[in-house]
C-alpha cells in the first residue's frame, strides 16, 4: 500500500511517516506543493495503464498550507491527471468554509479537520 | 444651521408682514368707507332736497307770473270774482316761496355745520348767499306787484311799473336757474368725488392684496426652498451613513479574515503536539524526542498568542510602553551578538553605529523590533552581508536605524502590504514559518514611540528596513523648536 504525504511541518510529517510505516504503508513524503506534484508525477509515469484513472497511490494525504503551492491547487492538478485518485485533504481552516466555496474541491475528496489524532488519520485511511 | 435659522426667520418675517398688511388692508378699507360716508355722502344728500326746493321756488314763481297776468286781465275785464281768486293764489304762491327759502336756508346751514373741508364750507356759504339774494329779489318783486295792484285799483297807467316788475322777474329767473345749475354741478361733483374715492380705495386694496399675494408666493417659494434644503441635507446624511456603513462592513470583513487566519495559525502547532503525545504514550518514540518537540511547539504557540494579543492592543491604541533611557548601541550589539553565535549560514552581520547616545525607549519592544528585522534578514539571505547602521540627528531629536541585506529582496506584491497582518499567510506561495504578524507589530511599536518605519528593495538585490524614532519622548522636550519637529512623526 502506497501513500503520498504532503506537509510542510517537519514534526508533523515525521509523525505521519512513523505511524504509517508502523501500519505497513509505503510512505513518500513531500515538504511543499511543488515537491508534492513532482513526486506524484514521477510515480504516475511508472504506472501500469489500467491503474491510470485511480492513480499511483492508494491515498494521498495533503495539507492545505504549504509553501510554493498550496494543497487545494495540488489537489486540483492531481485530479486532472487521475480523476479517481483517492485524496484526503487536511486543513486547520474551517471545513465548512472550504466546502461552501464552490469548485474548490471535488466532492470525492475526503476531509480531515486539523488538529486530528494520528489514530484518527489511520482509521480514516483504512476505512474505504 | 445658520442657513436654516435664516430661512426660518424669512418665514416668520413673511407671515408677520402678511398679517400686518391684511390688518392694514382691513383698516384702510374701513377708514376709506368712513371717510367717504361721513362727509361726502352727507353733503351730497343735501344737494337733492335743495334742488327740489329751488325747483319748487321756480315753479311757484311761474305760478305767480301766471296769476299776475290773470289779475291784469281780470282787472281789465272787471271780473271781480276771478280777480280775487287770482290775487289769493298769487299771495299763496308767494308764501310758499318764503317757506321754501326758509327750508332751503335750514338745509344749507346743516351743510355748513357738517362741512369739514374749506371747499365744502365755502360752497354752502355761497348757496346761502344765493338764497338770500333770491329772497331779497322776491321781496322786491312782491313789493312792486303790491304797488301795481294799487295802481290797477286806481285805474292809473302802469307801464313803467310793469317793466320794472318784468326786469326783477327776469333777474329772479336767472338767479334761480344759476342756483339750480350750481346745485346740479355740485351734486355731479360730489358723485364724481365719491366715485374717485371708491376707485382710489379699491386701487389701494388691490395693490395691498397684490403685495400680500406676492408675499404669499414668496413664502411658498421659501418653504419649498427649505424643503429642498432639508431634502438635500437628508440625502447628504444618507450618503454619509452609506459610506460609513460600507467602511464598517469592510472593517468587519477584515476582522473576520484576521480571526480566520489567527485561529488557523493557533491550531497548526497543536497537530504535531498531539502527535507527539500519542506517539510518546504508545511508546513509539522516546520521551526526550517527544518532550523536546512539545516544548518547541508550545513556545511557538506562546509567541503567536502574545503576538495576537499585541495586535489587539495596537489596533485599539492600548500598547503601553515602559520607557527608560537606554544606550542604543549597547542594545543593538547585544542582539547581534546572540545572532552571531547561532549563525550557520555564510552570512556576515556588520554594525556601523553612530554615537552611543541614550535614547528614551521601551527596551523590550525596541529589542523585539530589532530581533524581528534581523531574523527576517537572516531568513531571506542565504549568503552575503547583513548590515545594521545608525544615524543620530541630535538637533532634530531623532535617531535612524537601518538594516539591509543582500538576500532575495521582497516580492512586489508583498512589498505594498508588508506591514499588514498575515500578509505572507494570505498568498498562495507564501512563507509559512513565523507568526505572520512580526512586521505589523514592528510598525505598531515604532509608531507608538512616535516614529516611522519603511521597507524597500535595494538596487542590485536585497532589502532595506529603516526606522526613525525620537531620541527623547515628547513630554520631556524643553525647547519649542523640537516640539514642532516632533509633529512630523
Query: Residue A42 sits in a domain of what CATH number?
Result: 3.40.50.2300
Considering only CB atoms, which chain B residues are within 8 Å of A61?
Answer: none
Alpha carbons B272 and A89: distance in angstroms, whole number: 17
Question: In percent, how much of chain B has pLDDT > 70?
Answer: 92
**CA of A98: which chain B residue's CA is closest?**
B260
Flag whether residue B432 sits within 8 Å of chain A, measured between CB atoms. yes
Asked if the Cβ–Cβ distance from B429 to A94 is below 8 Å, we say no
**CA of A115: which chain B residue's CA is closest?**
B271
The DSSP annotation for B319-375 comes to ----EEEEEHHHHHHHHHHHHHHT--SSEEEEEE-----EEEEEHHHHHHHHHHHHH
Q: Which of A112-121, B23-32, B455-464 has the lowest mean pLDDT?
A: B23-32
Flag whether residue B301 sits within 8 Å of chain A, measured between CB atoms. no
* B261/chain A closest Cα distance in angstroms: 8
Flag whether residue A15 sits within 8 Å of chain B, measured between CB atoms. yes
Mean pLDDT of all residues in B101-118 = 86
For the cut 60, the answer to whether the pLDDT of residue B476 exceeds it is: no
Flag whether residue B297 sits within 8 Å of chain A, measured between CB atoms. yes
**CA of A15: which chain B residue's CA is closest?**
B275
For the cut 70, the answer to whether the pLDDT of residue A36 exceeds it is: yes
Mean pLDDT of all residues in A33-41 = 93
Coil vs helix vs strand at B461:
coil
Considering only CB atoms, which chain B residues are within 8 Å of A34?
Answer: none
Interface test with B, best of A61, A63, A67, A75 (most B CBs within 10 A): A67
The DSSP annotation for A7-70 comes to -S-HHHHHHHHHHHHHTT-EEEEESSHHHHHHHHHHHHHT--GGGTTT-SSSEEEEES--SSS-
The whole-number pLDDT of residue B484 equals: 45
Alpha carbons A66 and B268: distance in angstroms, whole number: 12
Considering only CB atoms, which chain B residues are within 8 Å of A9?
Answer: 268, 271-272
Flag whether residue B428 sits within 8 Å of chain A, measured between CB atoms. yes
**CA of B296: which chain A residue's CA is closest?**
A11
Asked if the Cβ–Cβ distance from B278 to A66 is below 8 Å, we say no
Tell me the CA distances in angstroms from B290 to B94, B275, B280, one per residue in order. 161, 9, 6
Mean pLDDT of all residues in B170-189 = 90
Asked if the Cβ–Cβ distance from B267 to A114 is below 8 Å, we say yes
Asked if the Cβ–Cβ distance from A93 to B260 is below 8 Å, we say yes
Residue A18: which domain range?
A: 2-126
B273 contacts B298 by C-beta, under 8 angstroms: yes
CB contact residues (below 8 A), chain A span 78-97, against chain B: 92-94, 97
Alpha carbons B453 and B467: distance in angstroms, whole number: 4
Mean pLDDT of all residues in B145-160 = 80
Residue B214: phi, psi to the nearest 5? -60, -45
Asked if the Cβ–Cβ distance from A12 to B275 is below 8 Å, we say yes
Q: Which residue has the higher pLDDT, B464 or B217?
A: B464
Beta strands B398-405 and B384-393 are antiparallel
Could you say which of A11, A93, A118 has the minimum Cβ distance to residue B264?
A93
pLDDT digits (tens, 9 = 90+) for B351-375: 999 999 999 999 999 999 999 999 9
Could you say which of B284, B293, B428 has the minimum Cβ distance to residue A70?
B428
A57 contacts A25 by C-beta, under 8 angstroms: no
Pick one of 3.30.930.10, 3.10.20.600, 3.30.565.10, 3.40.50.800 as the CATH number of B321-486: 3.30.565.10
Residue B364: CB atoms within 10 A of its CB come to: 11
Alpha carbons B217 and B213: distance in angstroms, whole number: 6
For the cut 60, the answer to whether the pLDDT of residue B478 exceeds it is: no
Considering only CB atoms, which chain A residues are within 8 Å of B276?
Answer: 11, 15
Asked if the Cβ–Cβ distance from A12 to B284 is below 8 Å, we say no
Considering only CB atoms, which chain A residues are within 8 Å of B275?
Answer: 11-12, 15-16, 19, 117-118
* A49/chain B closest Cα distance in angstroms: 33
Nearest CA to A61 among A82, A80, A89, A85?
Answer: A89
**CA of A63: which chain B residue's CA is closest?**
B268
The whole-number pLDDT of residue B357 equals: 94
Flag whether residue A100 sits within 8 Å of chain B, measured between CB atoms. no
Q: Which residue has the higher pLDDT, B86 or B23?
A: B86
Residues 6+ apart with CB under 8 A from B231: none
Confidence of residue B233 (pLDDT cuts 50, 70, 90): very high
The whole-number pLDDT of residue B16 equals: 82
Flag whether residue A65 sits within 8 Å of chain B, measured between CB atoms. yes
Question: In percent, how much of chain B has pLDDT > 90?
Answer: 49
Mean pLDDT of all residues in B139-145 = 91
Residue B348: phi, psi to the nearest 5? -105, 135
Alpha carbons B159 and B162: distance in angstroms, whole number: 5
Alpha carbons A44 and B58: distance in angstroms, whole number: 151
Per-residue DSSP letter, B1: -
The whole-number pLDDT of residue B364 equals: 95
Alpha carbons B397 and B486: distance in angstroms, whole number: 8
∠ Cα A105 A110 A113 (to 5°): 95
The whole-number pLDDT of residue A45 equals: 85
∠ Cα B214 B8 B236 (to 5°): 110
Mean pLDDT of all residues in A83-92 = 89
The whole-number pLDDT of residue A102 equals: 57
Confidence of residue B486 (pLDDT cuts 50, 70, 90): very low
Could you say which of A15, A65, A92 has the minimum Cβ distance to residue B275?
A15
Asked if the Cβ–Cβ distance from A118 to B432 is below 8 Å, we say no
Asked if the Cβ–Cβ distance from A117 to B297 is below 8 Å, we say no
Alpha carbons B47 and B431: distance in angstroms, whole number: 121
Flag whether residue A113 sits within 8 Å of chain B, measured between CB atoms. no
Interface test with A, best of B267, B275, B379, B429 (most A CBs within 10 A): B275
B287 contacts B277 by C-beta, under 8 angstroms: no
| pTM, two decimal places | 0.59
Tell me the CA distances in angstroms from B383 to B38, B370, B409, one per residue in order. 121, 20, 13
Mean pLDDT (chain B) is: 86
Coil vs helix vs strand at A88:
strand
The whole-number pLDDT of residue B3 equals: 64
Confidence of residue A80 (pLDDT cuts 50, 70, 90): confident
Flag whether residue A70 sits within 8 Å of chain B, measured between CB atoms. yes
The whole-number pLDDT of residue B480 equals: 45
Flag whether residue B285 sits within 8 Å of chain A, measured between CB atoms. yes
Could you say which of A11, A19, A66 has the minimum Cβ distance to residue B432?
A66
Could you say which of A73, A92, A119 has the minimum Cβ distance to residue B268?
A92
∠ Cα B166 B171 B174 (to 5°): 125
pLDDT digits (tens, 9 = 90+) for B405-430: 999 899 888 899 999 998 877 665 55
Flag whether residue B425 sits within 8 Å of chain A, measured between CB atoms. yes
**CA of A71: which chain B residue's CA is closest?**
B428
pLDDT digits (tens, 9 = 90+) for B210-232: 887 887 888 888 888 888 999 99
* B472/chain A closest Cα distance in angstroms: 43
Q: Which residue has the higher pLDDT, B435 or B362?
A: B362
Residue B200: CB atoms within 10 A of its CB come to: 12
Coil vs helix vs strand at B469:
strand
Cα torsion through B209, B214, B219, B223, rounded to 10? 130
Considering only CB atoms, which chain A residues are within 8 Å of B257?
Answer: none
All three cell numbers of B6, joined, read 435664516
* Radius of gyration, CA atoms only, chain A: 14
pLDDT digits (tens, 9 = 90+) for B241-252: 999 999 999 989
Amino acid at each position: 500500500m502506497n501513500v503520498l504525504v504532503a506537509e510542510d511541518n517537519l514534526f508533523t510529517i515525521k509523525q505521519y511517516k512513523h505511524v504509517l510505516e508502523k501500519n505497513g504503508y509505503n510512505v513518500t513524503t513531500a515538504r511543499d506543493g511543488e515537491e508534492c506534484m513532482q513526486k506524484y508525477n514521477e510515480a504516475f509515469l511508472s504506472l501500469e495503464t489500467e491503474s491510470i484513472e485511480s492513480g499511483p497511490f492508494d491515498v494521498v494525504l495533503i495539507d492545505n498550507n504549504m509553501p510554493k503551492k498550496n494543497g487545494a491547487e495540488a489537489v486540483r492538478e492531481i485530479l486532472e491527471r487521475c480523476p479517481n485518485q483517492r485524496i484526503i485533504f487536511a486543513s486547520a481552516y474551517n471545513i465548512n468554509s472550504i466546502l461552501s466555496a464552490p469548485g474548490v474541491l471535488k466532492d470525492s475528496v475526503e476531509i480531515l479537520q486539523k488538529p486530528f489524532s494520528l489514530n484518527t488519520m489511520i482509521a480514516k485511511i483504512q476505512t474505504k | 444651521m445658520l442657513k436654516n435659522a435664516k430661512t426660518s426667520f424669512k418665514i416668520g418675517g413673511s407671515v408677520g408682514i402678511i398679517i400686518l398688511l391684511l390688518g392694514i388692508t382691513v383698516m384702510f378699507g374701513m377708514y376709506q368707507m368712513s371717510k367717504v360716508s361721513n362727509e361726502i355722502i352727507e353733503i351730497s344728500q343735501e344737494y337733492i332736497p335743495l334742488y327740489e326746493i329751488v325747483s319748487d321756488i321756480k315753479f311757484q314763481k311761474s305760478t305767480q307770473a301766471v296769476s299776475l297776468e290773470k289779475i291784469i286781465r281780470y282787472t281789465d275785464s272787471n271780473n271781480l270774482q276771478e280777480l280775487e281768486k287770482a290775487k289769493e293764489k298769487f299771495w299763496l304762491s308767494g308764501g310758499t316761496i318764503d317757506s321754501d327759502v326758509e327750508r332751503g336756508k335750514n338745509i344749507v346751514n346743516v351743510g355748513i355745520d357738517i362741512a369739514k373741508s374749506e371747499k365744502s364750507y365755502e360752497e354752502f356759504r355761497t348757496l346761502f348767499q344765493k338764497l338770500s339774494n333770491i329772497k331779497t329779489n322776491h321781496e322786491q318783486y312782491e313789493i312792486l306787484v303790491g304797488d301795481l295792484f294799487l295802481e290797477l285799483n286806481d285805474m292809473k297807467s302802469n307801464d313803467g311799473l310793469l317793466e320794472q316788475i318784468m326786469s326783477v322777474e327776469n333777474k329772479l329767473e336767472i338767479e334761480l336757474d344759476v342756483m339750480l345749475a350750481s346745485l346740479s354741478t355740485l351734486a355731479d361733483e360730489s358723485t364724481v368725488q365719491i366715485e374717485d374715492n371708491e376707485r382710489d380705495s379699491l386701487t389701494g386694496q388691490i395693490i395691498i392684496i397684490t403685495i400680500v399675494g406676492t408675499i404669499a408666493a414668496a413664502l411658498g417659494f421659501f418653504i419649498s426652498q427649505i424643503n429642498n434644503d432639508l431634502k438635500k441635507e437628508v440625502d447628504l446624511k444618507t450618503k454619509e451613513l452609506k459610506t460609513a456603513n460600507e467602511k464598517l462592513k469592510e472593517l468587519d470583513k477584515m476582522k473576520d479574515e484576521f480571526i480566520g487566519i489567527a485561529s488557523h495559525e493557533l491550531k497548526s502547532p497543536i497537530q504535531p503536539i498531539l502527535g507527539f503525545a500519542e506517539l510518546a504514550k504508545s511508546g513509539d518514540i522516546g520521551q526526550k524526542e517527544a518532550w523536546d518537540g512539545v516544548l518547541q511547539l508550545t513556545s511557538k504557540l506562546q509567541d503567536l498568542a502574545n503576538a495576537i494579543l499585541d495586535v489587539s492592543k495596537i489596533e485599539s491604541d492600548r500598547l503601553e510602553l515602559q520607557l527608560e533611557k537606554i544606550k542604543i548601541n549597547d542594545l543593538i550589539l547585544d542582539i547581534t551578538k546572540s545572532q552571531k553565535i547561532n549563525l550557520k549560514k555564510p552570512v556576515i552581520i556588520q554594525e556601523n553605529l553612530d554615537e552611543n547616545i541614550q535614547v528614551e525607549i521601551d527596551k523590550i519592544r525596541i529589542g523585539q523590533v530589532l530581533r524581528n528585522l534581523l531574523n527576517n534578514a537572516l531568513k531571506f539571505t542565504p549568503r552575503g552581508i547583513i548590515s545594521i547602521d545608525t544615524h543620530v540627528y541630535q538637533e532634530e531629536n531623532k535617531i535612524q536605524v537601518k538594516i539591509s541585506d543582500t538576500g532575495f529582496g521582497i516580492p512586489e506584491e508583498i512589498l505594498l502590504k508588508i506591514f499588514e497582518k498575515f500578509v505572507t499567510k494570505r498568498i498562495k506561495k507564501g512563507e509559512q514559518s513565523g507568526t505572520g504578524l512580526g512586521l505589523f507589530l514592528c510598525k505598531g511599536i515604532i509608531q507608538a514611540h512616535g516614529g516611522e518605519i519603511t521597507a524597500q528593495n535595494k538596487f542590485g538585490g536585497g532589502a532595506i528596513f529603516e526606522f526613525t524614532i525620537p531620541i527623547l519622548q515628547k513630554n520631556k522636550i524643553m525647547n519649542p523648536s523640537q516640539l514642532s519637529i516632533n509633529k512630523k512623526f
